[in-house]
Amino acid sequence: MNMLRELETPALLLDRAKLDANWRRMSGHIAQLGPSLRLHVKTAKSLDAVRRLHGTRPGPICVSTLKEAEVFGSHGYRDVLYTVALAPNKVGRAAALAASGIRLKVVVDNVELAKALAGAPLDVLVEIDSDGHRAGLRPDDPRLLEVARALAGGGATVAGVMTHAGASYHCASTEAIRAMAAQERDAAVHAAQRLRDAGFPAPAVSVGSTPTAAFADDLGGVTEVRAGVFVFFDLVMAGVGVCGTEDIALSVLATVIGHQEDKGWALTDAGWMALSRDRGTARQALDQGYGLVCDAAGNPIEGLIVADANQEHGIVAHRSGDPARLPRLPVGTLLRILPNHACATGAQHARYQVLDETGRVAAAWERLSGW
């Protein structure tokens, strides 16, 4: 099988040339700034995809599930950061990973979880809140040192700090993203210095989000950058200005299966079960619905979006809502839908259909799922 028309739809397509180009661009940028790049595999969730990027030498990765740590660890990826605060019911599983020879680092941001690690020989990063976005302690929070003392008292190693500037996804300009990157850096560096001044080693200063990684211009004091969405990109990243739609490596192949002509709708067999329910572009200047519609070659069709989605039906319409502006799309027409959020759309599928430089299907790469 090497032609798109031979695939059963919906199918998840991955453009290998764009994947390679996105990796080269980001890895080269971070190398110039000095820190190491720790690839977040939560986006790809695929050994084949990550091996394509890292080559024969497994590089440092971060994961969002312990299952990812186990699978990648069993295939030679030994330097692993688990980026979600470690729940007490996962401590035994994390300790078993560390005992197997994986250099597993875990994350906490409160004394309760720090105490739950008592007796677990784990390297721990304290999560820092650098933007008010989600989890973590503010850099000057007195509890930072309380957490470190609880960790050290229980036998864990205070290995440093990490932060994620998720608020960068909502920045309105590249200047704002650059400012957020500096804010992220300063918060992490300051928190790490507080730990060192109190006698804790804190060698790692880990920052990361795809927008701040892409636009950072000074990472002094930072030891590593984490990012993952950049390998595929998506419409949210395009809306922020981090990439163009032409850089998006991921799409969902769909087939037109019917019409509602009076409404200006073409119905496809790719609903939210294929695209995900993510509506991240709804908060941006250009709302892309459930995805941007392209022809089978991946070229956007002027004005067409997936305006609505049921479980197995995608409703393609002109963004103006004018029925007369829907182009002729006969039943059986193949369309490619660019996703709002690469991670969420990828999670709906068991494998990638990998396209080579000619647009033919060259391979199928399996994806991971579960926790």
Averaged over 96-122, what is the pLDDT?
93
Report the pLDDT value the prediction gives residue 134, as an integer from 0 to 100: 84
pLDDT over threshold 70, residue 69: yes
Q: Which pLDDT tens digit goes with each residue over 279-320?
A: 999 999 999 999 999 999 999 999 999 999 999 999 999 999
In the block, residue with structure tokens 């996962």: 90
CATH topology of domain 4-12+249-366: Lyase, Ornithine Decarboxylase; Chain A, domain 1 (2.40.37)
pLDDT over threshold 90, residue 31: yes
Report the pLDDT value the prediction gives residue 120, as an integer from 0 to 100: 87
Averaged over 194-205, what is the pLDDT?
97
The answer to whether 4-12+249-366 and 34-231 have equal CATH topology is no
Give the rounded percent of residues in the chain with a pLDDT score beyond 90.
93
Report the pLDDT value the prediction gives residue 118, as an integer from 0 to 100: 82
Q: Which pLDDT tens digit goes with each residue over 325-368?
A: 999 999 999 999 999 999 999 999 999 999 999 999 999 999 99
Residue 276 phi, psi dihedral angles, 5° rounding: 85, 165
State the average pLDDT for the chain.
96
Report the pLDDT value the prediction gives residue 129, as an integer from 0 to 100: 95
Q: What is the DSSP string of 211-277?
A: HHHHH----TT--EEEE-GGGT--HHHHHHTSS-GGG--EEEEEEEEEEEGGGTEEEES--HHHH-S
- Categorize the per-residue pLDDT at 119 as very low, low, confident or very high, splitting at 50, 70 and 90: confident
Using DSSP, state whether 336 is helix, strand or coil: strand
Averaged over 167-174, what is the pLDDT?
90
Averaged over 91-96, what is the pLDDT?
95
Pick the CATH number of 34-231 from 3.60.140.10, 3.30.2130.10, 3.30.30.60, 3.20.20.10: 3.20.20.10
Q: Which pLDDT tens digit goes with each residue over 243-263?
A: 999 999 999 999 999 999 999
Averaged over 159-180, what is the pLDDT?
93
In the chain, where the domains are located = 4-12+249-366, 34-231
Q: Is the peptide bond before 142 cis (omega within 30 degrees of 0)?
A: no
Averaged over 15-38, what is the pLDDT?
97
Q: Tell me how far CA of residue 21 lies from CA of 10, 76, 107, 223, 248, in angstroms.
A: 26, 25, 31, 24, 10
- Categorize the per-residue pLDDT at 155 as very low, low, confident or very high, splitting at 50, 70 and 90: confident
Tokens at residue 73, please? 């660890």
Report the pLDDT value the prediction gives residue 208, as an integer from 0 to 100: 93
Tally of CB atoms within 10 A around 368: 19
Averaged over 87-99, what is the pLDDT?
95
- Categorize the per-residue pLDDT at 1 as very low, low, confident or very high, splitting at 50, 70 and 90: low
